[in-house]
């Protein structure tokens, strides 16, 4: 077994992040601006204490070259599978696999639904299954809420409104149940 194979994946990723930044001759702060994260995040990526999320990994993949690019691609695969809770059938080629993942993360709703890529969305699917198994009927207000979410989920204010609405319902219904 060569050294590359025996090095833990997060260590390889950390080295790849640092190598990519240094090849670009950027400080951690400058690199953070390029990636859309904080300098502290770049520091944690480089020391191997945390792996970047998929969106940052895709940006890193675009910036990297050689072995660093392959390390990014491997981590993207691992992250997507960890989020989903199961393996995905992706093309063997790193470039093709990353392109497939990129299209799903950048254009949710097209192709394979983005819905299947996060644990939270898995919880959503399980909740819908329980509802359908139980009553088999979904109230029109729930459908309207989902349609509103679909149209406005990218808006931070709208996300806050949805969180406030959920908190309000939780409090009101807990009072009723008590």
Q: How far is the C-alpha of 78 from the C-alpha of 84, rounded, in Å?
A: 10
Write out pLDDT tens, residues 71-90. 888 888 888 777 666 666 66
Could you say which of 76, 97, 112 is where a domain stops?
A: 112
Whether residue 139 is predicted with pLDDT greater than 60 in this model: the reply is: yes
CATH of the domain at 13: 1.10.260.40
Q: Same domain, yes or no, for 68 and 151? A: no
Query: Which residue range is the domain that position 85 belongs to?
Result: 3-112
Residue with tokens 């809420």: 145
Q: Is residue 36 part of a domain?
A: yes
Q: Same domain, yes or no, for 103 and 152? A: no
Q: Is residue 130 part of a domain?
A: no
Q: Same domain, yes or no, for 26 and 77? A: yes
Length reported for the chain: 178
Q: Is residue 129 part of a domain?
A: no
Q: Same domain, yes or no, for 16 and 82? A: yes
Which residues are CB-contacts of 28 (< 8 A; sequence separation ≥ 6)? 21, 39, 42, 43, 46
Write out pLDDT tens, residues 43-56. 999 999 988 888 88
């Amino acid at each position: 077994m060569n050294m590359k194979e025996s090095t833990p994946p997060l260590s390889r990723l950390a080295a790849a992040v640092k190598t990519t930044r240094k090849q670009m001759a950027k400080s951690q702060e400058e690199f953070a601006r390029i990636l859309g994260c904080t300098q502290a995040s770049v520091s944690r990526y480089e020391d191997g204490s945390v792996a970047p999320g998929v969106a940052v990994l895709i940006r890193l993949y675009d910036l990297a070259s050689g072995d660093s690019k392959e390390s990014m691609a491997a981590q993207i695969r691992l992250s997507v599978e960890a989020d989903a809770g199961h393996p995905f059938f992706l093309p063997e080629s790193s470039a093709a696999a990353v392109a497939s993942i990129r299209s799903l993360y950048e254009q949710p709703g097209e192709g394979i639904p983005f819905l299947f890529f996060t644990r939270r969305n898995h919880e959503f699917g399980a909740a819908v299954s329980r509802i359908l198994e139980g009553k088999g009927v979904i109230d029109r207000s729930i459908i309207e809420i989902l349609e509103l979410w679909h149209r406005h989920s990218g808006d931070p204010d709208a996300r806050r409104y949805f969180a406030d609405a959920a908190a309000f319902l939780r409090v009101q219904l807990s009072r009723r149940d008590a």
